[in-house]
Amino acid sequence: MKYNAGKFDVAVIGAGHAGIEAALASARLGCQTVVFTINMDAVGNCPCNPSIGGTAKGHLVREIDALGGEMGKTADECFLQSRMLNRGKGPAVHSLRAQIDRRKYSDVMKHKLELQENLQLHQAEITDIEKTDDGYILTTRMLAQYEVKAVVIATGTYLGGRIFVGEVSYESGPDGIFAASFLGESLKKLGIGLRRFKTGTPARVLRSSIDFTELEEQLGDEPPIPFSYDTVNLGENKVKCHISWTNEKTKEIILENIHRSPLYGGKIEGIGPRYCPSLEDKIVRFSDKKRHQLFIEPCGLNTEEMYLQGMSSSLPEEVQLKFYHTIKGLENAVIMRPAYAIEYDCIDPTQMNAALEFKDFEGLYGAGQFNGSSGYEEAAAQGFVAGVNAALKIKGKEPLILERSSSYIGTLIDDLVTKGANEPYRMMTSRSEYRLILRQDNADVRLTPIGRKIGLISDERWERFNKKQELKQNELKRISKVVIPPGERINEILVSRETSPLSTGAKLIDLLRRPQISYKDLEPIDETRPELDANIFEQVEIEVKYAGYIEKQLKQVEQMEKLEKKKLPESFDYTEIKGLRLEAQEKLNKIKPISIGQASRISGVSPADINVLLIWLSQR
Amino acid sequence: MKSDTIAAISTAQGEGGIGVIRVSGKNSIEICDRIFKAVSGRKLSDMKGYTAALGHVYKDDEKLDEVIATVFREPHSYTGENIVELSCHGGIFITREILRTVIEAGAEPALAGEFTKRAFLNGKLDLTEAEAVIDIISAKSKNAARAAILAKEGALWRRIENIKNKLVTTAAHFSAWADYPEEDIEEVSVESLSNTFNECLFDLNKLLSTYDMGQTVKEGIDTVIAGKPNTGKSTLMNLISGRNRSIVTDIPGTTRDIIEETVSVGGVILRLSDTAGMRDTEDKVEKIGVDIAKSRIKNCGLVLAVFDAGRELDEDDKKLIENVKDAPVIAVINKTDLEKKLDEKYIGDRIEKIVKISAKNGEGFDELCQLIEKIAGTADFNPSEGILANERQRNAAKNAKKSLEEATQALNAGMTFDAVTVSIEEAIENILELTGERVSDVVVDNVFHNFCVGK
């Protein structure tokens, strides 16, 4: 029988990476928050891979941290090995990636939710969402009813989840946890359109069954760098990863059995990401490639399960065994969990505005895979924004809308709600036009003031942040003043770096401007150098070296901001503006952009349409 | 960085009269000072609003034309911004050369309706309804869109697009390599980047220096004069162009190559080509001419099909009618001064617009001009938009070149690749502005299409 289980400000459906950030942000902002997870042991689960970060994703984690989110801190607490990727390719693409202990990550996150003031965590499946005059009523499978003012849907791959392994297919969420089978119907009844997406994961194999002797090792950085600006000491790398390769034999087995893949057999209708294809996809689409790389990564310290990065598959279990056994080191591998593909329900994110709130349903928010994205970090970033906005709404405040120029989070959300996602959306550095200002090293400079304003940055952290900025400014001033006279020592350094020696004195800042010269190079001749945090030196060096580019991008930002500031009405029928082309009218009515800036990014809206909009706007 | 100063030809493209190039924006006066030298030696920036100066426009050190420059100072101008109007001696080539010189000096080619838009937003237009302005802009953009499509069919665009594709592939390679560091994607090297830059810069330089050569850039309606030998095509061409350019003779097959002329017929610009006489022939050289003529007919904007009133309709004539009947065509019955032997009804049944003239003494010429104007009117062809479309392409190529030179500099200075790609993407962006695509979409698409990336 239905019973009234109480009133809350905010309900979060799902306690994965999106749900966690949403719930913590909402509760920390003082809202009574209830979180529902289908299985208490699946809070913060990492069913996809045992790592956090990576290119552009590392940026997202740093940004979440800078705003006052949790992912970076927990990843640091659970880290096994950490590497800064792309060191040689330039600061814009430097990205942190950490192997984590996935069970520990789940435990730590669950415990944080349990300890959080204003937050209740429940094991329950939500089966129905009903709209009321001033909020929503959520019903659980046990018929408990919760009256709430705002809802964040973060259902991940659970919503209508279906697993595929070869000819075998059944309703299920990830890792054998059951799926959310009822909520989809309820959403459809509300009038929310759903679509099917697909993702997958490789097998986990027993460590002792792998022969590591001839495999290349991959070690972490020394010293490892933390994600969080709060983490003081990360400790040492705890594990090694290994690299192996597929070969012609692997390819042969896969091609022989390709008809047994549910994707090629036509059983999967969901759209899978191009960037996370299964091994069979890679082999079919890039048939001239002779071999594919794989990484063997430990899943934790208290488990012998090993993850095979790059070897995702939905072929039958016995075929998996066969092709894994062709790979060097895996000849006798024992599969503990088979690889699988999973298909799930998600929405077309253009149904939402930039606050991640449904345009047609006030107080209803979505985040993560439900919104059509892919990846823990993308999910956490959206969860954070959705949770903050649910809370701000209840407090009657303006929503948090991050500009593209402020962050990868802003870019991610703008892409989703403006362009939509035709396949699971993964963050990439190439998606940002402002790469040189949106770096992982300066996420705090960009976003901590915003986090402070929202109310998620403690006094202690804010003070530390300000102190750091002061030290940075002082250091910039210092290097602009200190002149290094020509001399044997400095010229030796310069020549060894293949750059021209000094004949007259040069300021430190000018030496640092040379692409070949780093802070570290100048240490022996820089006698007045203060002791500072490594991140300060990093930021100063990048700002000096890339000053021209940074300035260029800042000018672009300035130009774009003029358009972002020209706000469009929330609800308006664009067919009333006759001068707009038909396609533009349709797109504008669908997306309902908040500004001319956003309108200009909609495909199908031309510069001439923008001119028409500007004129129309000036007459209102 | 885009300039906020815009320029366009603001007079209709006709023969004779005056051509006006309008330059509007914060830096318009300063920009025109770079290319205009007054006879009095006075600088435009020292002049008050509503004053004019006689002088010359210079391209590098070459004197292009004598012009009158009129200075308007904000807010007292059409757009409400600083404006310089350069009135020159009209004619398509000179006005375009001056427009281009202004663009080289730092202005941007104006978008369709942009002057009107600015005037309106600055409160300068006495149009009570925003709708009226919107109508003007959308009508102009439709014209511009058509002109852009025409321009994109040109050989020039294909060359620009080739360069763009090379750059997109390069940017995508960097992206795949940086965004998927754990995939075994071939390393981006200084050598490979440097090679691509050199290739693209070479192509861009060649393209910019040969921009005015060849048919690709001449504006106006591509008009072909076709007909069997000795029907008087060359005489007609000479009549229209008013100059004795084609070789006129009575020996069939004299005009073997395509001869081109850009002429103005009652305000319509025609790119006129006189083709080899169309007939079945054994002569190899002549046959090439005939083949070219046939392909020309397929791709042109207007055909003037010439028939000889003094001869019976024959197989060559009928073939011609067959070839042209789906093109915008005017049947020109020439030599009305001779005794009439031609079956005009056969032609009239198949070609709607028909005119009788004597190219030799000029009879019927006015009627032909009216028909041309009419047909051009229905095609809604706007020649000055055509010029701007081409200038935008050229400007895009020029800006892309500048960005690539920056990329090369950065590469040579030893900057990291992430910085170098900022300039590569800027170069792509300059070209994509012509199509309205976005750099990141194009690059990301290319990554997924061409690189095997996974998890």
Condensed to tens digits (0 to 9), the pLDDT of residues B180-235 reads 988 888 899 999 999 999 999 999 988 887 665 433 334 567 788 888 888 888 88
Q: A30 pLDDT band (50/70/90 cuts)?
A: very high
- The range of the structural domain enclosing residue A190 comes to 3-200+344-454
Contact B175 A428 (CB under 8 A): yes
My answer on whether B394 and B370 are in the same domain is no
**Residue from B26, B121, B179, B430 to probe the interface with A (highest A Cβ count within 10 Å):** B179
Mean of the per-residue pLDDT values of chain A: 94
DSSP alpha helices (H): ranges in B210-247? 233-241
Please give the structure tokens belonging to residue A443: 């996420």
Through-space distance between the first and last CA atoms of chain A, rounded to whole angstroms = 54
Question: Does any domain span residue A445?
Answer: yes
Count the domains in chain B: 3
**Residue from B173, B188, B416, B451 to probe the interface with A (highest A Cβ count within 10 Å):** B416
My answer on whether B330 and B364 are in the same domain is yes
Question: Does any domain span residue B213?
Answer: no
ipTM tops 0.95: no
My answer on whether B41 and B90 are in the same domain is yes
Dihedral of alpha carbons A230, A376, A370, A48, sign: negative
Q: B13 pLDDT band (50/70/90 cuts)?
A: low
**pLDDT tens digit sequence for B156-166:** 778 888 999 99
Count the domains in chain A: 4
Q: pLDDT at residue B279 above 70?
A: no
- The range of the structural domain enclosing residue B102 comes to 6-110
My answer on whether B264 and B343 are in the same domain is yes
The average pLDDT across A312-320 equals: 95
**pLDDT tens digit sequence for A156-172:** 999 999 999 999 999 99
**Maximum Cα interatomic distance, chain B, rounded to a whole number of Å:** 85
Closest by CA to A297, choosing from A82, A135, A455, A34, is A82
Cis amide leading into B75 (omega within 30): yes
Residues of chain B with C-beta less than 8 angstroms from the C-beta of A580:
138
Q: pLDDT at residue B265 above 90?
A: no
Cα A241 to Cα A296: distance, rounded to the nearest angstrom: 6
pLDDT of residue B234: 81
Of the residues A298, A315, A340, which one is the last residue of a structural domain? A340
> Percent of chain A, pLDDT > 70?
98
Question: Does any domain span residue B195?
Answer: yes
Question: Does any domain span residue B217?
Answer: no
Q: What is the CATH number of the domain that holds A513?
A: 1.10.10.1800
Angle between helices B383-413 and B417-432 (to 10 degrees): 170
Question: Does any domain span residue A463?
Answer: no
B175 touches chain A (CB under 8 A): yes
Q: pLDDT at residue B251 above 70?
A: no
Question: Does any domain span residue A467?
Answer: no
Cα A507 to Cα A527: distance, rounded to the nearest angstrom: 13
Most confident of A288-292, B110-114, B438-442: A288-292
Cα B362 to Cα B165: distance, rounded to the nearest angstrom: 51
Strands B83-88 and B221-226: unpaired
**A259 compared with A363, residue with greater pLDDT:** A363
pLDDT of residue B299: 65
**pLDDT tens digit sequence for B128-156:** 566 677 777 776 666 666 566 656 666 67
Output the CA–CA distances (angstroms, integers) from residue A490 to A426, A509, A510, B115, B158, in the order listed.
46, 14, 13, 58, 52
**Bridge partner list, A306:** A205, A298
My answer on whether A189 and A213 are in the same domain is no
DSSP alpha helices (H): ranges in A245-316? 248-256, 279-285
In this complex, the residue of B144, B418, B443 whose CB is nearest that of residue A90 is B418
Contact B447 A430 (CB under 8 A): yes
Q: Which residues, 6 or more positions from A277, have their beta carbon under 8 angstroms from its beta carbon?
A: A285, A312, B454
**pLDDT tens digit sequence for B35-71:** 999 999 999 999 999 999 999 999 888 888 899 999 9
My answer on whether A309 and A351 are in the same domain is no
My answer on whether A317 and A373 are in the same domain is no
My answer on whether A101 and A148 are in the same domain is yes
> Percent of chain B, pLDDT > 70?
76
My answer on whether A63 and A185 are in the same domain is yes
Dihedral of alpha carbons A263, A265, A267, A270, sign: positive
pLDDT of residue B376: 64
My answer on whether B246 and B345 are in the same domain is yes
Most confident of A226-235, A369-378, B344-353, B392-401: A369-378
Q: Which amino acid is at B218?
A: K
Residues of chain A with C-beta less than 8 angstroms from the C-beta of B188:
89
My answer on whether B83 and B157 are in the same domain is no
Residues of chain B with C-beta less than 8 angstroms from the C-beta of A582:
none
Dihedral of alpha carbons A7, A13, A16, A20, sign: negative
In this complex, the residue of B141, B417, B447 whose CB is nearest that of residue A89 is B417
My answer on whether A309 and A416 are in the same domain is no
**pLDDT tens digit sequence for B240-250:** 876 444 434 44
Question: Does any domain span residue B120?
Answer: no
Cα A310 to Cα A296: distance, rounded to the nearest angstrom: 9
My answer on whether A162 and A35 are in the same domain is yes
Contact B447 A282 (CB under 8 A): no
Burial class (CB in 10 A: 0-12, 13-18, 19+), A302: exposed
Q: How far is A253 from chain B, CA to nearest CA, in Å?
A: 19
My answer on whether A223 and A300 are in the same domain is yes
Question: Does any domain span residue A145?
Answer: yes
My answer on whether A189 and A75 are in the same domain is yes
Are B32 and B106 in contact, with CB atoms under 8 Å apart? Answer: no
My answer on whether B286 and B200 are in the same domain is no
DSSP three-state, residue A330: coil
Are B134 and B120 in contact, with CB atoms under 8 Å apart? Answer: no
**Maximum Cα interatomic distance, chain A, rounded to a whole number of Å:** 88
pLDDT of residue B379: 39
Contact B415 A515 (CB under 8 A): yes
Q: pLDDT at residue B26 above 80?
A: yes
Q: Does the pTM of the predicted model rise above 0.90?
A: no
Residues of chain B with C-beta less than 8 angstroms from the C-beta of A308:
none
Q: pLDDT at residue A581 above 80?
A: yes
pLDDT of residue A227: 97
The secondary element (H helix, E strand) that includes residue A82 is: strand A79-85
pLDDT of residue B273: 78
Closest by CA to A75, choosing from A48, A47, A108, A42, is A108
Cα A282 to Cα A299: distance, rounded to the nearest angstrom: 24
Mean of the per-residue pLDDT values of chain B: 80
Cα A600 to Cα A583: distance, rounded to the nearest angstrom: 14
Q: What is the CATH number of the domain that holds A374?
A: 3.50.50.60
**pLDDT tens digit sequence for A530-553:** 999 999 999 999 999 999 999 999
**pLDDT tens digit sequence for A127-183:** 999 999 999 999 999 999 999 999 999 999 999 999 999 999 999 999 999 999 999
**Residue from B418, B425, B428 to probe the interface with A (highest A Cβ count within 10 Å):** B418
Contact A618 B1 (CB under 8 A): no
Question: Does any domain span residue A25?
Answer: yes
Q: What is the CATH number of the domain that holds B45?
A: 3.30.1360.120
Question: Does any domain span residue B122?
Answer: no
**B442 compared with B382, residue with greater pLDDT:** B442
**Bridge partner list, B353:** B330
Q: What is the CATH number of the domain that holds B273?
A: 3.40.50.300
Q: pLDDT at residue B125 above 90?
A: no
